[in-house]
Amino acid sequence: MVIDSNLAGPQPPIEVLVRAVKDFLLEIALPELQGVAAFQARMAARQLEIVERTLLLSADNEHRELAGLQELLHSEEELGRLRKKLAAMIRSGAMSIDTPGLLEHLKSTTIAALAIDNPAWLDRSNG
């Protein structure tokens, strides 16, 4: 969960603000709009859903990616450094693409990213 440090009491937290804007776009603005503006309102609402899912899932995703990286690289360093290290090792050939567990790790981080960006893409399995 995101910590919203400005919040001293029961004022609406960030996920409620996002939902309010999304509901406004879809239920109040969209019926009044046509053509490009209607298309963009739908697009805007979809992007707010990415914000909603980020608030819900990103901490957990990062936690799991970090655990996977630490296991693969036998290191306790932090996420950003390990991710960079893994990318560089694959690029340079220092880590073979056939390394056991590697593709599984990359697949699960990709699925986790899509669970935020566009979970509907995961529903259809005809990749």
Partner 1 sequence: MTILEQHTERMQALFRKIWGPDAVARNLLLLTGGASKRTYSADVVRCGKVLPIILQLFQARGEESGEHDVVPRLTPEQDASIQTLMKSAGVAVPNVLYILKPDDGIGLGYITERISGESSGRRIIRDDRYSGTHATLARDCARTLAAIHTFDTEPNCDFLPYTPAGDLIARFKHQVDQAGLVCPALEWALEWLDQHIPSPVRTSVCHGDFRLGNFIIGREGLRAVIDWELANLGDPAQDIGWLSVRSWRFGGARCCGGFVSLEEFIEAYVEAGGPPISLPDVMYWQAFGNVRWALHCLRRGVRYLDRGRAVSLEDTGIGRRFFEPIHDFINLVEKHGYRQ
Residue 118 sits in the site that holds partner 1 (CB under 8 A): yes
Nearest to 102 by CA among 72, 82, 74: 72
Residue 7 sits in the site that holds partner 1 (CB under 8 A): no
Q: Which is nearer to partner 1, 12 or 107 (CB)?
A: 107
Sequence-separated (6 or more) residues with CB below 8 Å from residue 38: 30
Nearest to 79 by CA among 70, 71, 88, 89: 70
Per CB under 8 A, the segment of 1-9, 12-20, 26-34, 116-124 that binds partner 1 is 116-124
Dihedral, CA of residue 28, residue 32, residue 36 and residue 41, to nearest 10: 0
d(CA 112, CA 64): 9
Give the per-residue contact string, 33-52, with partner 1 (x = CB under 8 A; - = no).
-------x--xx-xx--x--
Residue 11 sits in the site that holds partner 1 (CB under 8 A): no
> Residues in the site for partner 1, rule: CB under 8 A?
40, 43-44, 46-47, 50, 80, 83-84, 86-87, 90-91, 93, 97-98, 102-103, 106-107, 109-111, 113-114, 117-118, 121-122, 124-127
